[in-house]
Structure 1
Amino acid sequence: MNATQTTANQLLAALGVRNVVGFFLVLARISPLFLVAPMFSSRQIPGRARTVVALAFTLGLYPLAIVGQRIPTETLSIVELVVKELLVGLAFALCVALLFAAIETAGAILDFMVGFAFGGSLDPITGNQSAVLGRVYSLVAVAIFIAINGDAWLIQGLSRTFDIVPLTASPDFASIGEALTLVFTGIFTAAVEVAAPVLIACVLTDVGFGVVSRVVPQLNVFAVGFPVKVLVGLLVVAASLPFVGGWISDQLQLSVGEALQTLRAG
């Protein structure tokens, strides 16, 4: 134990207490990205790999983040700054993560409308329970996220947060709370926008079979309607997915921009 303490003290003396504190403050802001942000928080990426990448990002952003900052060394001040950094990083990551939550919600709505909700299973991306279309939309969203360099947008956006809210500055928490409230309330609206073409097709199919059941009472609508509704739903999903890709790309840029506008020094 004495040898370990001696080594730690020598390391602190060599690096400087303020440099070490600054490093962990930057790490505190980056960590929420690997807990809630899309792709970065995927269950398919081992925890050790996420930790190594988070440390690598911290090493890259740390020299820029501490420029011109007077890092305190008092324990209480350090704790307050760590909590503040965690909140800032969480607010930024949530603004983007809720976009993917809206896409998963759209998939869940469509699974219920088409009839796939009965076959729910584990989503490999999020680790949550979802049905067929929920997994399809989730995988498509991640694929588009990678194709448009969404990971680079997130990293660039996160680096800009250190200019907007420096390590030793406090953000406007009231503005952050209002923005996150708006984002949360907009999840269902965004989900309906994504699912609208399939929802309309399913409703029209139900109306059509309702008319048929009145005209031809002998027809077993339940036996015929379910496979036809599934076929119509899949055809409209296939036709609308390219437009969903464009919507995801636009909304991702908008989400990163809104996150940066929300984070401002108080």
Structure 2
Amino acid sequence: MFSVTYAQLNGWLTAFLWPLTRILALIATAPVFGNTSLSVRVKVGLGAFITLIVAPTLPAMPQVTVFSANGVWIIVNQFLIGAALGLTMQVVFATIAATGELIGLNMGLSFASLFDPSLGETTDVMSRYFNAIATLAFLSLDGHLQVIAALIETFRSVPISANVLNAAGWKMLAEWGSSIFAGGLLLALPVVAAILISNLALGILNRAAPQIGVFQIGLPLTLLVGMLLVQFMLPNMIPFFSHLFDGGIEELGRVAAAFR
């Protein structure tokens, strides 16, 4: 007759539940994985599948009962680690979205907003455009596989028993988040500078020949200049996105190391 002791059941639960919590937290917060277009069943199934593969290779788990105070605290720590790692990669896509917002604002498209289901709010149309390109580039460059590989590596650098409440990783994550504006401005700088020059030229033209009607041709001209420059940027945009993705993966490893 097959029988299972409480110690064996607790060992199986700890070997599966604690890694699953970290993996699901990352899936819920990371770009692409956390998109609301993916159903909860798909996310849970993906997390369970990854856990089943990873769990046998992990170091020995702490000898703690799953539903004891210490066991629940370990679950909380695993959730915090996974969420922090997912937000680290989310900063990269926030940088790209900020680029679209800056370009759209200078092109006069700030009034053209669409509802973004992934964020649950309205976003600038250029931000949606840049985000779509970034998502396709992320998938084509196997960024999703690199994120999963980096997550699995964190189980060795940050053990299950780690207490991350006072870890330096949170400060590093906040500093990494401060790069959103700088990175977005760097990518949008060519378009912003060109549109600024065209606006200055229109201002000079308005002073020299007021009868031309600069206000009638200003918005169409700004849109035309902006769209042409975005078109010219596309060949160099994917390498820049690849650089951002690589930096995000590296930062993910540094944040995880700071949680030790």
Q: Same fold (TM over 0.5)?
A: yes
Shift of 1:11: 6.9
Cα deviations by residue, 1:237-258 (Å, 9 ceiling, x for unpaired): 1111232211111121111111
Q: Does 1:142 align with 2:135?
A: yes
TM value normalised by structure 2: 0.92
Cα distance in 2 between the residues matched to 1:98 and 1:178: 14
* Paired position in structure 2 for 1:195: 188
**Paired residues, number:** 256
Q: Does 1:228 align with 2:221?
A: yes
* Paired position in structure 2 for 1:103: 96
The correspondence of residues 39-78 of structure 1 with structure 2, limited to 5 A, is 39-65=32-58, 67-73=59-65, 75-78=68-71
Shift of 1:139: 0.1
* Paired position in structure 2 for 1:123: 116
Q: Indicate the SS of the match to 1:32.
A: helix
Which amino acid is 2:248 matched to? S
Cα deviations by residue, 1:120-167 (Å, 9 ceiling, x for unpaired): 111254443112211110100000000100010000000000010011
* Paired position in structure 1 for 2:172: 179
Cα distance in 1 between the residues matched to 2:158 and 2:256: 7
Cα deviations by residue, 1:33-92 (Å, 9 ceiling, x for unpaired): 222211001121112111111111111211122x23334116011011011111111111
* Paired position in structure 2 for 1:94: 87
* Paired position in structure 1 for 2:15: 22
Shift of 1:172: 8.0
Which amino acid is 1:155 matched to? I
Cα distance in 2 between the residues matched to 1:27 and 1:55: 6
- Contact 2:98 2:181 survives alignment (8 Å): yes
Aligned CA-pair RMSD = 1.9
Cα distance in 2 between the residues matched to 1:150 and 1:11: 41
Which amino acid is 1:154 matched to? V
Cα distance in 2 between the residues matched to 1:89 and 1:21: 17
Residues 1:31 and 1:73: Cα distance change in structure 2 (over 3 Å): same
Q: Does 1:162 align with 2:155?
A: yes
Shift of 1:15: 5.2
Which amino acid is 2:186 matched to? E
Tell me, which stretches of 5 or more residues in structure 1 are unaligned? 1-9
Which amino acid is 2:216 matched to? A
- Answer with 67-76 or 223-232: which moved more: 67-76
Cα distance in 2 between the residues matched to 1:126 and 1:54: 22
- Contact 1:12 1:20 survives alignment (8 Å): no
Tell me, which stretches of 5 or more residues in structure 2 are unaligned? none
